[in-house]
């Protein structure tokens, strides 16, 4: 039996060597029973076809340009011993695997799949469960992370990892992934020109999406829901955030988007619904906010610290507890042609633009900033009276902060 197997193996190996890009099968009844053996035997550009079954392996290193393809989602069980797959070669494709039981360590960031200093990789159709870190790209450019499903069960921040992490990785496309129950759903650090489209990042412990020091990135059409703190974009430039949905990020430090030290970005066509804070802006300049819908958030936009030359145009502010909150009296931002559901002015010339400017900052939001407990007085008659008097003659709120052309109807 063993002898027979060996001859077959030799045959396969010879066969592979003869034709470039051959297929090698791995399965429980095949001559090749483990993926590691398969990789060891495979030549460049071969396809390693892993059949259905459970493979208890970890620290699988793909060090040549291979296609590792699963058939009917074979399970690779790392048994919590460490990293499962590491790619160290350019041109690797990993497709259709079920990776489970990544090791948890406080010193090493074990990932289900790690790409190290490699280019032109494709990681697709993976399912990841019981993980520490999910897909970890380290100094790896020009790749694609497509249609993966990452389901974590993170409970505490200190012993959980991120779903998809990019570190010094440029020109990567992250598309159509589902990430939930991890620490940060998608995390980018020092990664430029990344496009993040059509992903769903929900129920993560900290951020659904987290940018640090990453520039010229675009994210479009993603859904971020019920994450511990929403989406954080920090210390980055030229980020475009388009047509995303941010929903139900509830909590004391929960935001649709947290912008910190962001310059020259564009935030457009997004929906912010039922977040504690829709957008929290700190030290961010020259950003255009247009055509966004802010629906029933606690604070639609909260501006902290110095933020200059931002423009809010053609947005819809619908039934938020507070539309805009400022913690200073200074204002260098422009609000124009937005629709505010709280607007009570009139439009005599029927041009669709209210004839009286709208002041989006209420005195009450100023009071709540100062004494947060006063939030229990939200919508009380006394507060309405006070807000009205402040509206008539602003004392505490920036008097130049107004939308001179408030729309009468919401922009579609």
Partner 1 sequence: MLKILKYSFYDLVRSRWSYAYFLFYLGLGFVLLFLNNDVSKAIITLMNVIIVLVPLIGTIFGIMYYYNSKEFTELLLAQPIKRSSIFLGQYLGVAGSLTLSLVFGLGIPFLLYGLLRSDAIFDFSLLLVTGAFLTFIFTALSFNMGLSNENKIKGFGYAVLLWLFLAVIYDGLFLMSLIVFEEYPLDTFSIVATTLNPIDLSRILILLKLDISALLGYTGAVFKTFFGTQQGFFISIFMLILWTVLPIWRLIVKSKKKDF
- Which residues here bind partner 1, judged by CB under 8 A? 248, 250-252, 254, 274-277, 296-299, 318-319, 321-322, 341, 367, 370-385
H or E segment at 38? helix 35-41
Total residue length of the chain = 412
The two tokens of residue 375 are 């939030």
Of 21 and 352, nearer to partner 1 (C-beta) is 352
- Give Cα 144 distance to the centre of its chain: 16
What angle, 0 to 180 degrees and rounded to 10, lies between the N-to-C axes of helices 381-392 and 363-370? 110
Residue with Cβ nearer partner 1 (72 or 380): 380
Give the SS3 label for residue 326.
strand
Q: How far is CA 198 from CA 78, 163, 164, 173, 195, in A?
A: 29, 15, 14, 11, 10
The bridge status of strand 322-326 relative to strand 149-151 is unpaired
Is 174 within 8 Å of 189 (Cβ atoms)?
no
Q: How far is the CB of 195 from partner 1 (least distance, A)?
A: 30
Residue 409: CB minimum distance to partner 1, A: 11
| Cβ distance to partner 1 smaller for residue 262 or 318 | 318
Residue closer to partner 1, measured from CB, 80 or 248? 248
Report in angstroms how near the CB of residue 295 gets to partner 1 at its nearest. 8
Smallest distance, partner 1 to C-beta of residue 333, A: 22
Residue-by-residue DSSP string for 78-104? -TTSS-SEEE-SSS-EEES-EEE----
Contact (Cβ atoms closer than 8 angstroms) between residue 190 and residue 167: yes
Least distance from partner 1 to the Cβ atom of residue 259, Å: 17
* Residue among 143 and 230 whose Cβ is closer to partner 1: 230
Cβ closest to partner 1, residue 289 vs residue 340: 340
- Least Å distance between CB 32 and partner 1? 53
């Amino acid at each position: 039996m063993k002898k027979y197997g060996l001859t077959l193996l030799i045959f396969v190996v010879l066969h592979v060597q003869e034709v470039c890009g051959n297929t090698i099968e791995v399965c429980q009844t095949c001559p090749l029973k483990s993926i590691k053996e398969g990789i060891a035997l495979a030549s460049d550009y071969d396809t390693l076809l892993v059949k259905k079954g459970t493979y208890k392996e970890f620290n699988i290193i793909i060090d040549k340009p291979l296609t590792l393809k699963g058939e009917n989602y074979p399970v690779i069980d790392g048994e919590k011993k460490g990293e499962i797959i590491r790619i160290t070669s350019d041109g690797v494709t990993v497709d259709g695997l079920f990776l489970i039981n990544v090791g948890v360590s406080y010193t090493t960031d074990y990932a289900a799949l790690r790409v190290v200093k490699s280019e032109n990789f494709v990681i697709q159709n993976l399912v990841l469960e019981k993980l520490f870190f999910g897909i970890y790209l380290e100094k790896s450019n020009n790749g694609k992370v497509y249609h993966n499903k990452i389901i974590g069960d993170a409970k505490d921040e200190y012993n959980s990892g991120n779903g998809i992490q990019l570190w010094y990785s440029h020109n990567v496309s992250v598309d159509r992934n589902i990430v939930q129950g991890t620490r940060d759903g998608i995390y980018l650090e020092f990664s430029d020109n990344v496009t993040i489209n059509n992903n769903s990042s929900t129920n993560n412990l900290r951020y659904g999406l987290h940018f640090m020091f990453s520039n010229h990135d675009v994210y479009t059409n993603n859904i971020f829901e019920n994450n511990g703190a929403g989406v954080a974009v920090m210390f980055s430039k030229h980020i475009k955030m388009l047509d995303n949905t941010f929903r139900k990020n509830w909590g004391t430090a929960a935001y649709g988007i947290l912008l910190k030290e962001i310059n020259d970005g564009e935030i457009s066509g997004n929906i912010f619904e039922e977040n504690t804070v829709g957008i929290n802006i700190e030290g961010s300049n020259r950003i255009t906010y247009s055509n966004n819908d802010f629906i029933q958030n606690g604070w639609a936009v909260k501006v902290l610290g110095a933020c200059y030359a931002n423009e809010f145009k053609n947005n819809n502010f619908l039934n938020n507890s507070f539309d805009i909150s400022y913690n200073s009296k200074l204002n260098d931002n422009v609000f124009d042609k937005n629709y505010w559901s709280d607007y009570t002015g009139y439009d005599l010339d029927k041009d669709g633009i209210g004839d009286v400017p709208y002041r989006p900052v209420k005195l009450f939001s100023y009071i709540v900033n100062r004494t947060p407990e006063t939030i229990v007085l939200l919508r009380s008659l006394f507060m309405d009276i006070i807000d009205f008097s402040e509206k008539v003659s602003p004392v505490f709120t920036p008097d130049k902060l107004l939308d001179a052309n408030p729309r009468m109807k919401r922009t579609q």
